[in-house]
Amino acid sequence: MTGERRNGPFPRDGAFELGDDGPRVILVGIDGSPTSLRAGAYAAGLARRQGAELVAVHVATTPALAMLAPDRPWPVEETLTAVTEEIRRQVAAGAAHVGVPVQFVALRGDPYAELCRVATETRADAVVVGASTQVGHRLMGSLAVRLVRAGRWPVTVVP
């Protein structure tokens, strides 16, 4: 055989190569916990090194106790809005520090369902989340485990 690769992984001169190296869109879930903030920092560094778009998703969930006492006025909406705005500021400051543009998406609902939906809509090539620190998730399964089991994206779980 001459020095030419016919069936190798590299295209011949002038041939079109489908895809490219590395992720183009990196999605990171941010809930304000220390592990999710570390996941955000990791994803921002990865996006910077890869030249990828960074999409930070915050999914607010209504606390279960707020639903148990409908006659007592809980400032749930105001609290969720304030938390979302604080996380938005942290994400913007972190992205500016690293030098990466970021798209911040704030949603309400089930974190797993919403992260899957946004990852599908943005055609994410990678998903980064923080490891759960809750004891019950070892028995029932955490968000990270559910995303890994879905098998639709490479998932990085940051401790």
Q: Which CATH number do you get for residue 98? A: 3.40.50.620
Q: Which residue has the tokens 């990171």?
A: 28
- Please give the single-letter amino acid code of residue 63: P
Q: Which candidate, 88, 78, 76, 77, places its Cα nearest to that of 31?
A: 88
- In this structure, are residues 94 and 43 in contact, taking their beta carbons and an 8 Å threshold? no
The answer to the question of residue 59 being in a domain is yes
Identify whether 22 is part of a domain.
no
Q: What is the pTM for the complete model shown? A: 0.79
Element (H, E) at 143: helix 143-150
Tell whether 4 is covered by a domain: no
- Are 44 and 102 in contact by the 8 Å Cβ rule? The answer is yes
Residue 34 belongs to what domain range?
28-158
- Determine, yes or no, domain membership for 2: no
The rounded mean pLDDT for the chain is 84
Q: Is residue 151 domain-resident?
A: yes
Is the pLDDT at 50 greater than 70? The verdict is yes
Q: How many domains does the chain have?
A: 1
In which band, very low, low, confident or very high, does the pLDDT at 25 lie, cut at 50, 70 and 90? Answer: very high
